[in-house]
Amino acid sequence: MLKKDEVSKLRAKLTPEQQDVCVNKGTEMPFTGEYVSNHDEGVYRCVVCGAELFDSKTKFESGTGWPSFWEPAKKENVKDKDDYSYDMHRVEAECAQCGSHLGHVFDDGPQPTGMRYCINSVSLKFEKR
């Protein structure tokens, strides 16, 4: 986990939309994100700290309007956290290294995990293989 002052310096470089999602736990509009329709092979990293989060091999078309993955590339880099906002219980996905909000996790994904990590494109930086 990065120190608070290191995270603050990294977050200061974000665009307003990235700030809204990664820091304020906002959500980008569905079907507008850069990576919704990305089918290139590579790795998705945290836009703030660069931690490896998801691999294109686990990305799937969920039809929800956000990039979806059935598991993290490195489980230790994605932290699940209870979210009770909007008078409901959901599971938030955040970067374990810097605490940035990524999206939410649902149990309606494909096998082999049955999970759907529904992630905001603006919280990611894609690194093509």
The residue extents of the domains of the chain are 4-128
pTM beyond 0.75: yes
Top-tier CATH class for 4-128: mainly beta
Catalytic residue among 49, 95, 98, 118: 118
Closest CA to 24 of 124, 123, 126: 123
What are 104's strand-pairing partners? Answer: 92, 118
List the structure tokens of 113: 């995990």
Span 90-121, pLDDT tens digits: 999 999 999 999 999 999 999 999 999 999 99
CA dihedral 111, 117, 122, 124 (to 10 degrees): -70
Q: Is 22 a catalytic residue?
A: no
Residue type, 126: F
Q: Where are the alpha helices (DSSP H) in 3-129?
A: 4-11, 16-18
